[in-house]
Structures are given as structure tokens and as C-alpha cells.
A and B are shown apart, each in its own frame.
Chain A
Amino acid sequence: MNLFNLTSIELEALRLSLWVSGWALAGILPFGILIAWVLARKNFPGKSILDGLIHLPLVLPPVVIGYLLLILLGRNGIIGALLFKYLGISVAFTWKGAAIASGVMAFPLLVRSVRLSIEAVDQGIENAARTLGAGPLRVFFTVTLPLIIPGIITGILLAFARSLGEFGATITFVSNIQGETQTLPLALYTLIQMPNGEASAMRLCLLSVFIAMMALLISELLSRWFTATLNG
């Protein structure tokens, strides 16, 4: 059993996984920070409904989310049909759809982590910045944001891990197309069902462990570095 030479299918799955997770993260990061800030700092009617909606992907079976995405964003979906008609964009059965599915599934983890760290920021310090002449936007970018960077790093790690492991929503929404939507878990699933797929499956397993460990290590180092910087 050769554990180190990846076949082209496996390499393709690895490349696609990183690509899809990267885009998913880039897409949800600014939005996630904004929502986390709103949930941490603002009170408005319907807040618990918004909070519940954001947490749905965490508590629903992923297949349900995938099916909902198909209904909304599929070529004949409510939003998907409009997108295709006016902009010529179709995300179903493409890597973009896989990124959307990953992003939606990872979103609550990002929001939770960032929200907790925003709630931990002393509002007294933000108020002090206001009395020094800084408007709300400057306070956010010069005080709140730098102080929550460790929380954002944790959120990014959790979201990244979640989107790398995304299976149910992805296979339901964009299917299992090699080279287009077949990410690591989907490739692994396919290989397990094939005769003589064991070596390949084991390689993908080890690869997943390696990526997860690397991500953990990097986020840990970054967190430590930022904490050290904070404490001068």
C-alpha cells in the first residue's frame, strides 16, 4: 500500500477542497463579523429569530440545508432562476455552489466565535474612544477589531475545518462531480464504495488529518503571537 503518492483524482480533490473552503471563508468572513457585531451589541425586535436562523445549519441535518439551497439557488429555484435569467449565473452543480454550501454550513461557527470575543471587549474602552473624538466606525476599526483578532482566528479555524469536512449539504446541492464539486470527503465516499479503493481512501484520510493538524497549529501560533503582542 503506497501512502505517499497521490493520484491525480486525489490531488484534484485536495486542490478543490482548499479552493472551495478558501472561497467559502472569504465570502462569509466580513459578513460574519458584521452579524456577530450586530448580535453582540444591538438590541432590536426579531433578534432571537435572526439568531435562530443563523444557527439553523448547526442543528439541521446537512441534507436539509442542501435541499433548501437547491430549492432557493438551483437553476429553477426561487433566487437561482432570477440569477440565471438576468445575470446568466448558475451555481448548481459547480464549485461555486459547493463554496456556498460550505459557507452556509460554516457560518454559525464563525459568528459564534466572533460574537463571544466581541462580547468580551470592555465597552468602557469603546466609550473612552468615543470621548476622544472617534465616531462609531473608527471605534470599530481601531479598537474593537484589533481586540477581537484572536476570536476571529478561532472562528476562521472552526469555519475552515467545518467547510473542509462538508459533505451532506454539498452532495445534495451540487452533487459529486469529479473535478468540479468532488471535494475530499466526497472523493473519500466514492473511493470507499469502489473495489480496490482502500489505499486511495487511506491516503485521503491521512491527508485530511494532516490538513486539520496544520490548521490547528497555525491558528494556535497566530493566537499566541497576537496575545503576546497585546501584552507588550
Chain B
Amino acid sequence: MLDIKLEKKLGKCFINVAFKSDVTEVIALFGPSGAGKTSVINMVAGLVRPDAGHITVNHRNLFDSNAKINLPPEKRNIGYIFQDGRLFPHLSVRSNLAYGMRNTSTSESSITFHQVVELLGIGQLLDRRPSRLSGGEKQRVAIGRALLTNPDLLLMDEPFASLDQPRKAEILPFVSRLCTEFEIPVLYVTHSLEEISRLADTLIVMDSGKIASTGQTAGPPNG
């Protein structure tokens, strides 16, 4: 389902990673700051162009340096949840959620607006502007917005780094449910061991651009 091999020189750091996954699971990318975790998922999303390698998601070739394939981000069908939410400040929560919906036809749409609003508990926020949301609410809306594009893969870049402990506890359960309920694989960047133990099925440890070790975790306790 997921086959990724990337090489990229970024300043003094040389990123060289390769990993595969054949099941729908939560993969955590773990490592110290500057290990290149965010660069890896930016390359998967199409926001940064790798020097060489390939990215295959669900048998779709998104990038292949040999075949000269490089799909732009909007054609990759990959959802990205950023550390800082990045909601559109000029749009209501409802319009933020709907922004990516028009590219998915209703027939192939397995995730409905109603489902997402229900799952994330954001029904009472729909008419608000992002500036009137708390940090946790913003991240839930960001997750919903990415889900509604019906992505083949969800990328998360330390989505809870800016949240305090109660807010984290509020959102963490949603993430493990995404993978199981909607059958979307998740590639999750973090430097929190607690999040890994609660969410991840597979753990990839990165250090200075390379994969230091890979392994299965005991799996999330509730999934």
C-alpha cells in the first residue's frame, strides 16, 4: 500500500530513507529535532521535491525520479495535518471543512460531512471563524478538513505539539479511530513516546536523515 524511498540533500543534512507498509496502519516517524522527519512527509505530500527515489501509495505512482513522475500536491490525494493547523482564517469552520470536498465525487466518497462532524464533535463550531477556536478545536477541524478529501494516506506533523495535556487527551482517541474506522493509513511525525505508545502500530526511528531502526509496537491499547 505504501512504498517510499527518498533521497534529498538539504543543506548539510542528507536524507536517505526507505520504508514499506502492506497494511492499513499508523506508522510513527520518531526522532530528535533536525532528524529530517518533517522533510520526509513534506516530500511525500509533494511540497518538497526529492532528488531521487519513488513514492507509491495504493499502487499509484506519485513520484518516481527514474520515470520522471512528479505529481503536484493537489493531485496526490494525500491529507496533511500540520503542527499549526493552518486553517483558512477568512473562512468559517464549515467552509474550511468543505474546501477539499469538491474534488471528490459523491459516488466514491466514503466519508460524509455529517460523519466527520459527528466523529470530531465539531457540530457547534461550524459557523465560527478559526480565530474564535481553541487550539484543540482548531486541530480537530484541521483533521476533519483533511479527512473530507477522502485521502489515500494521512500525514500528521506533530499535530499535538502545541497543545496542553488535557487537549491532547481530547484528540488522541480520534486519531486511532481514523485509521480503523475509515481505513486510512497514517504517517505520523512525533517526538513524544507517549503518543507512540498510544497510537502507533509501526515505529520508524530517524536520526540525522537516516532510519536508525524500524519495528512493530505493541499496538494501541484500544485498537
Number of interface residues of B (CB under 8 A): 31
Number of A-B residue pairs having CB atoms within 8 Å of each other in the complex: 70
Contact partners of B72 in chain A: CB under 8 A: 130, 135
Q: In the assembled complex, how far is the CB of residue B17 from the closest CB belonging to chain A, in whole angstroms? A: 20
Q: In the assembled complex, how far is the CB of residue B84 from the closest CB belonging to chain A, in whole angstroms? A: 7
For A131, give the chain B residue with the smallest CB separation: B80
Contact A135 B74 (CB under 8 A): yes
Give a binary string over B75-87; 1 marks a CB under 8 Å from any A CB, 0 the rest.
0111110101010
Give a binary string over B40-74; 1 marks a CB under 8 Å from any A CB, 0 the rest.
00000111000000000000000000000000111
B140 at the interface (CB under 8 A from A): no
Contact B145 A229 (CB under 8 A): no
Contact partners of A135 in chain B: CB under 8 A: 72, 74
Interface majority SS (helix, strand, loop, mixed), chain A: helix
Other 19 A-B pairs with CB < 8 A, given A125-B88, A131-B73, A231-B131: A124-B82, A125-B89, A127-B73, A127-B86, A128-B80, A128-B86, A128-B88, A131-B47, A131-B74, A131-B80, A132-B99, A132-B100, A133-B149, A134-B100, A229-B90, A230-B131, A231-B89, A231-B129, A232-B131
User: Can you show 29 pairs from A to B with CB atoms below 8 A apart?
Assistant: A122-B86, A125-B88, A127-B47, A127-B73, A128-B80, A128-B82, A128-B86, A128-B88, A129-B99, A130-B46, A130-B73, A130-B74, A131-B45, A131-B79, A132-B74, A132-B103, A132-B146, A133-B77, A134-B74, A134-B99, A142-B99, A143-B88, A146-B90, A147-B90, A229-B90, A230-B90, A230-B131, A232-B92, A232-B131
